[in-house]
Structures are given as C-alpha cells and as structure tokens.
Chains A and B, each alone.
Chain A
Amino acid sequence: MKDRFNLYRFASPVTFYPLAGALIPWFVALSVVFGLAGLYLGMLVAPTDFQQGEGYRIIFIHVPASWMSMFIYLVMAGWAAIGLAFNTRLSGMMAHALAPTGALMAFLSLWTGALWGKPMWGAWWVWDARLTSELILLFLYIGYMALTAAIDDTKRADKAGGLLLLVGVVNVPIIYFSVKWWNTLHQGSSVNLTKSSMAQTMLWGMLLMAMCFWMYSIAVALMRARTIMLERERNTDWVKAVLAENSEGAAK
C-alpha cells in the first residue's frame, strides 16, 4: 500500500515538476563533466587506429548517438506501456518530451555514419542493415511525432501515440532482421565493419561520451517535460502557484 502511494506520488506532475527542476542542473553538470572527460580521452589521449587512421575518432559520437537513438525509443515504449496499463498522466508527457531528442539522435547517428562511411568505405551511404534500420527508426520517430501532433485531444494523442510506440517496438527487431537478411542476399553492397580490438583508452572515451549523451538527453527531455506539464495542467492550482512564484522572481 505504501509502495503504491509512492509510485502515484512521483507519477503526479505536482511532485514531479519541482523534482525535475531540481535535477536538471545536476544532469547538465554531469553531461558537461562526462563530455569534457570523454573528449579529452578520445580526442587528445587516445592513439590512432592502425586500420582507420584518425578517421575512427568519429566513433566517439557516432556510437553514443546510435545507442541513445535506440535506447530512447525503448524508454518511450516503456512509458507508453505504463501509460496504457495504469493510465498515468506523466507517461504521455515523458514520451512526448523524449521524442524530438530521440529523432535528433537518430539523425546524428546517420549524419556521423555518412561522414565516417565516406572515407572508410568510399560512399556516403550504403544499404547496410544497421544504416537502413537506423533510417527506419528515424521514420518511426517522425511518425510518432506526426501522429501526436495531429491529435488535438491530449489524452487521445498520448494513448494513440503509445499504441503506435508499442507496435513499433514489436516491429523494430523484425525490420532489423529482415533488412539484415536482405542485405546478405545482396552481397554487392554489403560492408564489413572492421572489428579491431579497441584500446583501453578508446573504450573509456566512448563510454564517457555515451554517459555525456545520456545525461544530455535526460536534461533536455526533463526540461521539455516541465514545459509540457505547465501547458497541459494550466487550469490547476499548482500551475497557477508556480506561475505566480515565477512572476515574483522576475520582479526582483
């Protein structure tokens, strides 16, 4: 009973709003710290890769961006499942707040992949299973955002978007494997990423950059979620109190 109470307490915007507000500076700070450490290790200390030369350094943003693009989609689907099962207001807001960041991560993954592919494979784009799946993931993000933007009623938008996310999550592995299989049949364009054993510093640099991207995404998503909360709950007392406090702060 007590657990239940707590869950609902944190799932309610009234408690989540100030909590998120207090946490955002920490996530920003962590993101900067991890980012600086990761860039220091990755760009300044790490030695060159004997096969790819200095071009491999794109990995320090390419891999974190790809990870985040997939991870954010999973988190959104998780929120969607909670939202559809327990009918919580917060889930839709969080999924909504995460989507643009996820789409940007997918775009960055494709962009850096293209810039990495050109010098290494000789082509900006190849129809490799991973690249193609990432492109489709970007389409899925765009579909989610287009659907929720087209529905005026926020409750329906949350639920319909959530259902789409769940359908997408079921489909992503199917799409990935079918594209992979398709790719092995068309050997002409297939590409082998050289799996050279990574030096310790490279690995640490990459993990630190991944942490930086992670903290960044949380910070931006929380900021967006706070705005969405104010917008959606504009008629409640707590939002009015927040706004009144905000005016006093500005007057000083």
Chain B
Amino acid sequence: MIYWNSFSDFLAMGGYGFYVWGSFGVTALIMAIEPIVVIRNRKSTIALLKRQLRADGRAENRNAAE
C-alpha cells in the first residue's frame, strides 16, 4: 500500500523536498499559530471583561453602602 521504499525517499520527495516540505511546513505552522493566537486572544478578552465586571460590582457595592 505505502508508495515509498524508505523514509529518506519520503523526505527527498524525488528531489522536490524543499518545495513540498516548504509548502507543508508553512501551512502547518500557520494552522498551528492561528488557533494559538485566537485562544490567547480569547483568554485575554475574558480576563479583561471579568476585571471590568468586578470593578462594576465594587462600584455598585460602594453605592449601596453609602
């Protein structure tokens, strides 16, 4: 079933290794980085919103105390 005879054949890609792995490498890199950036962005947004929520809550408590 497997087309390749050896792992080094697979890496060489019949002389096109640089082009094939250059394409797949950058694609893999982007597809790894994009979700990380999105998740980080999500976490920082949630943290920011929570801080705002707590600040609002404190302001309300103070108003109630007065």
Contact = CB atoms under 8 A, between A and B. Distances in A.
Size category of the binding interface on chain B: 20 to 34
B49 A243 contact: yes
A246 B23 contact: no
A55 B50 contact: no
A220 interface: yes
Instruction: Please report whether the interface of chain B is mostly helix, strand, loop or mixed according to DSSP.
Output: helix
Contacts of B24: 58, 61
Interface of B: 1-4, 10, 13-16, 19-20, 22-24, 26-27, 30-31, 34-35, 38-39, 41-42, 45-46, 49-50, 52-53
A247 to B, nearest CB: 6
5 contacts: A45-B2, A53-B16, A112-B26, A119-B19, A220-B34
B23 A116 contact: yes
A227 B22 contact: no
Instruction: Please report whether the interface of chain A is mostly helix, strand, loop or mixed according to DSSP.
Output: helix
B34 A230 contact: no
B23 A247 contact: no
A41 B56 CA distance: 56
Given A61-B27, A240-B53, 5 more contacts: A47-B3, A100-B34, A101-B34, A111-B26, A226-B42
Contacts of A48: 3, 14
A194 B49 CA distance: 54
Contacts of B50: 243, 246-247
B52 A112 contact: no
Interface in A202-229: 216, 219-220, 223-224, 226-227
Contacts of A101: 34
A112 B27 contact: yes
Contacts of A246: 46, 50
A54 B13 contact: yes
Contacts of B20: 54-55, 57-58, 115
A7 interface: no
Nearest to A52: B16
B1 A45 contact: yes
Nearest to A59: B23
A57 B49 contact: no
